[in-house]
Amino acid sequence: MNIALIAHDNKKDELVRFAIAYKEIIEEHTLFATGTTGLRIMEATGLSIQRFQSGPLGGDQEIGAMIAKNTMDMVFFFRDPLTAQPHEPDVTALVRLCDVYSIPLATNIGTAEVLIKGLERGDLAWRDIIHQEQGEGNDK
Ligand SMILES: O=C(CO)COP(=O)(O)O
């Protein structure tokens, strides 16, 4: 599966701890992240992550482009609901695209815990069917 990891600044520590806690599960997958989030997680876990631009510089849109191509399977986006973001339209667009393509999206750690356990259990196997139909092979 292709998995995106994104966190606003006030939520980065939480996402880093989440990635450490569930490293054994997520390292089985192909990981993508916005710039700073990806760097923080790589430094803390040693995981290999394909990093896009930082969120305010277009990283959310780059991940959104993968969703629009239906090549992103799960998104962990720990949003900060208490701080205005300069790129709020990009944030909204990313969440919207997850709904357009029915992509599982966790915007907080409570939902993330449930999603990661579903991922471990194989609940996302239906995404493999979509990849097979698309004939694309860039996920594990
Ligand atoms: O702003 C972000 C998501 O909207 C995250 O970007 P960074 O990971 O580069 O901080």
**Domains along the chain?**
2-134 (3.40.50.1380)
Q: To test the ligand 1 pocket, which listed residue (14, 36, 90, 97) has its Cβ within 8 A of the most ligand atoms?
A: 36
What was the ipTM of the complex prediction? 0.98
pTM passes above 0.90: yes
Strand order of the β-sheet with 2-7 is 49-51, 30-33, 2-7, 74-78, 105-106
Q: What confidence score (pLDDT) does residue 26 get?
A: 98
Tokens of 120: 């471990």
d(CA 101, CA 110): 22
CA of 4 relative to ligand 1 center, distance in Å: 12
Q: Is 107 annotated as a binding residue?
A: no
- Contact assessment for residue 75 and residue 104, using Cβ atoms and an 8 Å cutoff: yes
Distance 37 CA to ligand 1 centre (A): 6
Is-catalytic flag, 60? yes
Ligand 1 in reach of 97 Cβ (< 6 A): no
Per-block average pLDDT, block size 10, for the chain (140 residues)?
Answer: 98 98 98 98 98 98 97 97 97 98 97 97 91 69
Residue 14: both structure tokens together: 């939480």
Q: Is 131 annotated as a binding residue?
A: no
